[in-house]
Amino acid sequence: MEQPPRFDEKAARRVEAVYASKEEVRQRAFVMDALAPLTGERIVDIGSGPGYVLRDLGEAVGPSGGAVGVEPAGAMIALARRRCAGLAQVTLREGNAEAVPAGDGEFDAAIVTQVYEYVPGIAAALGELRRVLRPGGRAVIFDTDWDSLVWNARDPARAGRILKAWDAHLADPHLPRTLSARLREAGFEIQRRDVYPILNPEYEPGSYSFGMIGIIVPFVIRFGDLPKEEVKAWAAELEELGRAGEYFFSLNRYLFVCKKPVCKKPEKNPEEK
């Protein structure tokens, strides 16, 4: 199977369009509320993509703070730079989650949304997250478990083949179920866990699942070793289900809020001089 490349401009714009859906807008509010950014804080957005969250962070921390986006894909950086234009407190750095271009303890907080499921070296990534946070710094992590997907199909076997091929775009399509243990191993204190469901009971242009069809189809045609006609027939079936009033899509994403512990100095023995 051909290996997927980094996001090119066309793929980046498809993702940008999905992130404009009402479901993603509500999701960003949910994640930002969990992070609760403060004026004057320095916050890193690891895997900042087209810059929606980064722009929100820049507005939240204000001119006295700083919002840094870290992103490996040049096409995404270009979109984020345009989206955050005019916010002097926002900067972008080329890099990835396994090697964050930042100093030790540089940030008060971090946000990592829909990123770690793409990262092969999750232990290294969590080590980097801990390194760049100050003692007491907090992080919000948000990822999908794709086994939570419920997507109606008249041909379930065909849909299963296509969605299995889609799983190949991730390093770990089931990361949330192991993330608690991984965070503890990396030295974090877990403060909150929550679920965020996406529900599309109708086939609606502009919805999250509608946009995802436009991302999944070209990916599976190129990388999935399945006949193009089969993939297109799956997409056509979803449209037919919509016309028949039988469309249904649901997916769960999982939120983790964690903290880098403050290392306390050992108390002196009163008998010691």
Q: How far is the CA of 231 from the CAs of 78, 127, 220, 224, 246, in angstroms?
A: 31, 39, 7, 10, 20
| pLDDT for 270 | 47
Strands 150-151 and 133-144 turn out to be unpaired
Per-residue model confidence as pLDDT tens digits over 19-28: 989 999 999 9
Give the alpha-carbon dihedral of 27, 255, 223, 94, to 10 degrees: 80
Per-residue model confidence as pLDDT tens digits over 179-225: 999 999 999 999 999 999 999 999 999 999 999 999 999 999 999 88
> What is the average pLDDT across 65-69?
98
Query: Please, what is the average pLDDT of the chain?
Result: 93
The residue ranges of every structural domain in the chain are: 9-259
| pLDDT for 229 | 97
Alpha-carbon distance 130 to 36, whole Å?
Answer: 19
Residue closest to 58 by CA, chosen among 33, 30, 39, 34 = 39
Structure tokens at 223: 């990388």
> What is the average pLDDT across 61-78?
96
Per-residue model confidence as pLDDT tens digits over 74-83: 999 999 999 9
CATH number (3.40.50.150, 3.90.180.10, 2.60.120.10, 3.40.190.10) of 9-259 reads 3.40.50.150
